[in-house]
C-alpha cells in the first residue's frame, strides 16, 4: 500500500474546524486501502475520528508564531495568518508517496507544506475546504483597501500558488470549478464531496439529558425549534440569523450552538415574548450535537460564504430540513427538495422563509425524509474514499488520460 500524509492546516487556537473534521474522517475511510497518516495543527484535533483503531497514524505536530512580535496584543483573527508548524520537516524526511492537503488557513503555512512536498519530489493534492471563503473573503469581511490588500497577498495569492502546483484538486462540489479557474488552475479536478459518519440509533436517555442541560422546553411549549451550529465568525451569518428571528411573529425556540466569542453581546438576545426564546449553548461535545439536531424542526445556516459545510450534511443525516444561504456548494447539498434556499445576507427573506416553514409541518417532514435519503445516496465517506483512492492512483501512476481542465466525478 502506498503512504499518504494528510496535513490539516488549521489555526491551533480553534476548537473545531469543519475542514479538519472532514480530513480526519476521509483519512479514516481510506485507511483500508492506503497507509494514512494525519498531521493536524489543531490542538483540539478530532482524535475520535482517527487513531490506531481506525488504522490511521497520528503524527504529532508542533505549532508556533514567529518570534519577535507582540502576538498577545493582536486579535486572533490576525494571528491566524502567521502560525507555523513542523509539518514541512515531516515531509522532508521523504517517507510518504503522496501528500493530501486539507484546509487553506493559515495560507502561508499551507504554502510552506506544499513547497516542502515539491522539494522532496512528493506529489500533492488539495481538497477545496474553505476555498469559497478564501475567494470571497474581501467582500464578506467588509475589508477596506489596506486590509483587502493584506488578504490578497497573505491568503488569496498563497492559496493560488498551492493550487497551481498541485497534481490534482479534489473539489467538494461543482460550485468550486469557477473558483479554481479564477485561481489559474488548469489541471485535473475530481469531485470528492464530504460524507457523514453512519447515523447512530437515537438514545432517548441521552437526548433527555442533553435537552435538560440546555433548558430546552417540552415540544408542545417550544413552537418552531430551530438550530444554528457554527463558529461565530462573521462569515457564518450569526447577526443575520438574530435579526431574522427578532422579526418573527410566532412562537419559537432558537438554539445557537458553537463557541461564543468575546466581541459578541449574547446577553441581549432574549426576546420580549414569553413564547420566544434563544438558547446559547457555547461549545458542544460531539455527543451533544445529534440530540440537539434531532430536537430541531429546522437547521438554519445563513452563512455568507461556505464551500460545502459538513454541519449541513450532519443535520440532513438526522432527517432535519435545512434553511440556508444559496452560496458555494449548499445548493448542491440541498438538491431534490431537502430544504429552502435564501439569498445570503438577507434577514427579511430568512424570516419569511421561516414563517412559511412553520406553517407547513407536513412539508417540513417531507423535506427531512428527502434530506436523509440524499445523504445515503450522495454523501457517504465510503463513496468519498472510493473517489479519492481512484484519484490517488492516477496521480501516482502519472496518468494524463483526459484533456487539461476536464472535470470528473472520480
Q: Is residue 290 located within the same domain as residue 332?
A: yes
Q: Is residue 130 located within the same domain as residue 268?
A: no
Residue 400: per-residue pLDDT = 44
The contacts of residue 244 (CB under 8 Å, 6+ apart) are: 302, 347, 348, 350, 351, 354
Residue 51: per-residue pLDDT = 52
Residue 53: per-residue pLDDT = 64
Residue 404: per-residue pLDDT = 41
Q: Is residue 141 located within the same domain as residue 289?
A: no
Residue 234: per-residue pLDDT = 81
Q: Is residue 31 located within the same domain as residue 161?
A: yes
Q: Is residue 190 located within the same domain as residue 117?
A: yes
Q: Is residue 170 located within the same domain as residue 219?
A: no
Query: Which residue range(s) make up the domain with 246?
Result: 204-377
Q: How many domains does the chain have?
A: 2
Q: Is residue 344 located within the same domain as residue 386?
A: no
Nearest residue to 59 (alpha-carbon basis) of 16, 95, 104, 17:
95
Kindly list the averaged pLDDT for each block of 10 residues, start to end, along the chain of length 410: 96 85 95 95 59 80 91 82 95 92 97 97 96 92 91 97 98 96 96 88 92 90 90 88 90 93 80 90 92 96 94 95 97 96 96 93 95 95 96 85 42
Q: Is residue 277 located within the same domain as residue 169?
A: no
CA torsion through residues 403, 405, 406, 410, sign: positive
The contacts of residue 175 (CB under 8 Å, 6+ apart) are: 132, 307, 308, 328, 329, 331, 332
What are the grid coordinates assigned to 334, written together?
440541498
Q: Is residue 164 located within the same domain as residue 276?
A: no
Q: Rounded CA gap, 356 and 142, in Å?
A: 31
Residue 135: CB atoms within 10 Å: 24
For residue 278, what are the β-bridge partners? 254
Q: Is residue 119 located within the same domain as residue 244?
A: no
Residue 66: CB atoms within 10 Å: 9
Q: Is residue 116 located within the same domain as residue 231?
A: no
CATH code for position 169: 3.40.50.2000
Place of cell 504529532: 60
Residue 350: per-residue pLDDT = 97
Q: Is residue 321 located within the same domain as residue 396?
A: no
Phi-psi region of 215 (alpha: psi -120 to 50; beta: other; left: phi over 0): left
Residue 52: per-residue pLDDT = 54
Amino acid at each position: 500500500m502506498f503512504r499518504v500524509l494528510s496535513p490539516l492546516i488549521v489555526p491551533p487556537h480553534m476548537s473545531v474546524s469543519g475542514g479538519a473534521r472532514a480530513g480526519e474522517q476521509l483519512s479514516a475511510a481510506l485507511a483500508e486501502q492506503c497507509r494514512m497518516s494525519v498531521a493536524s495543527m489543531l490542538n483540539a484535533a478530532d482524535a475520535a475520528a482517527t487513531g490506531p483503531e481506525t488504522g490511521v497514524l497520528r503524527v504529532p505536530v508542533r505549532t508556533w508564531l514567529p518570534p519577535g512580535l507582540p502576538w498577545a496584543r493582536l486579535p486572533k483573527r490576525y494571528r491566524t495568518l502567521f502560525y507555523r508548524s513542523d509539518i514541512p520537516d515531516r515531509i522532508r524526511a521523504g517517507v510518504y508517496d503522496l501528500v493530501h492537503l486539507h484546509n487553506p488557513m493559515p495560507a502561508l503555512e499551507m504554502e510552506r507544506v506544499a513547497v516542502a512536498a515539491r522539494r522532496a519530489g512528493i506529489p500533492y493534492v488539495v481538497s477545496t475546504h474553505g476555498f469559497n471563503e478564501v475567494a470571497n473573503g474581501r467582500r464578506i469581511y467588509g475589508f477596506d483597501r489596506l486590509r483587502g490588500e493584506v488578504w490578497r497577498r497573505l491568503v488569496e495569492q498563497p492559496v493560488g500558488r498551492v493550487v497551481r502546483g498541485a497534481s490534482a484538486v479534489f473539489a467538494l462540489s461543482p460550485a468550486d470549478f469557477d473558483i479554481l479557474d479564477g485561481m489559474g488552475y488548469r489541471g485535473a479536478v475530481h469531485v470528492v464531496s464530504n460524507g457523514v459518519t453512519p447515523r447512530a440509533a437515537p438514545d432517548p436517555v441521552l437526548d433527555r439529558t442533553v435537552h435538560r442541560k440546555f433548558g430546552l422546553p417540552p415540544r408542545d411549549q417550544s413552537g418552531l425549534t430551530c438550530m444554528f451550529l457554527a463558529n461565530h465568525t462573521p462569515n457564518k451569518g450569526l447577526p443575520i440569523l438574530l435579526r431574522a428571528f427578532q422579526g418573527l411573529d410566532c412562537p419559537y425556540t432558537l438554539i445557537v450552538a458553537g463557541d461564543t466569542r468575546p466581541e459578541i453581546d449574547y446577553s441581549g438576545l432574549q426576546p420580549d415574548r414569553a413564547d420566544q426564546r434563544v438558547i446559547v449553548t457555547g461549545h458542544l461535545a460531539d455527543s451533544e450535537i445529534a440530540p440537539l439536531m434531532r430536537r430541531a424542526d429546522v437547521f438554519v445556516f445563513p452563512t455568507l460564504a461556505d464551500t460545502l459545510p459538513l454541519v449541513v450534511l450532519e443535520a440532513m443525516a438526522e432527517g432535519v430540513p435545512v434553511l440556508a444561504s444559496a452560496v458555494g456548494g449548499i445548493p448542491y447539498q440541498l438538491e431534490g427538495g431537502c430544504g429552502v434556499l435564501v439569498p445570503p445576507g438577507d434577514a427579511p427573506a430568512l424570516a419569511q422563509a421561516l414563517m412559511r416553514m412553520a406553517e407547513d409541518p407536513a412539508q417540513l417532514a417531507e423535506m427531512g425524509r428527502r434530506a436523509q435519503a440524499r445523504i445515503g445516496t450522495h454523501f457517504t465517506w465510503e463513496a468519498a474514499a472510493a473517489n479519492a483512492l481512484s484519484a490517488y492512483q492516477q496521480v501516482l501512476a502519472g496518468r494524463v488520460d483526459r484533456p487539461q481542465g476536464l472535470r470528473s466525478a472520480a
